[in-house]
């Protein structure tokens, strides 16, 4: 009987210890791998510290958490070939810096909103005073490519921006942003 009680106590202590060591599921959200180009402004500058900054992948939200600010966004239309569901870009200011998120959109909820899930995160490098971010309104070789995010230099051209500092294409299936060549990339201001 004493041996049974001792075994039972050891078993219960093990369960208690295991229950106390569980991690928060947000900490287990997938982070970007070193091969993902989304964590830095260029492929060659990806460091472990930069990868750690992009830990919002997997975050589900109806409204942004405290300490975050929505700056701009764009629903991606048409939906990329081979992708299932609807997607959007969200330019946000986070406690870890400014980012563009590739979000998948869930079913509509109250007040016309939709639950979003971050599928990929792109850290926006510091912008010069004459630069801005364009999302889903750039052409690649004369054809609209709604998956492009670009940093452009403001110009005097009416609504067209051909001075591109950096450009990425969101890959929905791989869940990342990939740096793309700047040749042939031109962005248009949808508001002009």
Cis, peptide link before residue 186, omega less than 30° from 0? no
pLDDT exceeds 80 at position 177 = yes
pLDDT for 94-107, tens place per residue?
998 999 999 999 98
Most confident option among 17-21, 97-101, 113-117: 97-101
Mean pLDDT, the chain, integer: 76
Of residues 2 and 115, the one with the higher pLDDT is 115
Q: State what percent of residues in the chain have pLDDT above 90.
A: 54
């Amino acid at each position: 009987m004493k041996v049974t009680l001792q075994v039972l106590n050891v078993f219960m202590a093990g369960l208690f210890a295991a229950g106390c060591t569980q991690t928060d599921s947000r900490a287990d959200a997938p982070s970007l791998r070193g091969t993902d180009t989304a964590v830095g402004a260029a492929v060659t500058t990806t460091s472990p510290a930069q990868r750690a900054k992009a830990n919002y992948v997997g975050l589900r939200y109806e409204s942004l958490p405290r300490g975050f600010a929505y700056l701009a966004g764009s629903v991606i239309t048409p939906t990329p070939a081979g992708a299932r569901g609807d997607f959007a870009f969200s330019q946000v200011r986070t406690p870890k810096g400014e980012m563009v998120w590739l979000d998948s959109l869930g079913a509509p909820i109250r007040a016309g909103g939709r639950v979003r899930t971050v599928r990929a995160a792109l850290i926006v490098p510091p912008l010069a005073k004459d630069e801005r971010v364009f999302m889903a309104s750039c052409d690649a070789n004369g054809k609209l490519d709604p998956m492009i995010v670009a940093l452009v230099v403001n110009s005097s051209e009416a609504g067209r921006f051909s001075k591109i500092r950096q450009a990425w294409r969101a890959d929905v299936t791989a869940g990342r942003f990939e740096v793309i060549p700047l040749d042939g990339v031109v962005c248009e201001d949808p508001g002009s």
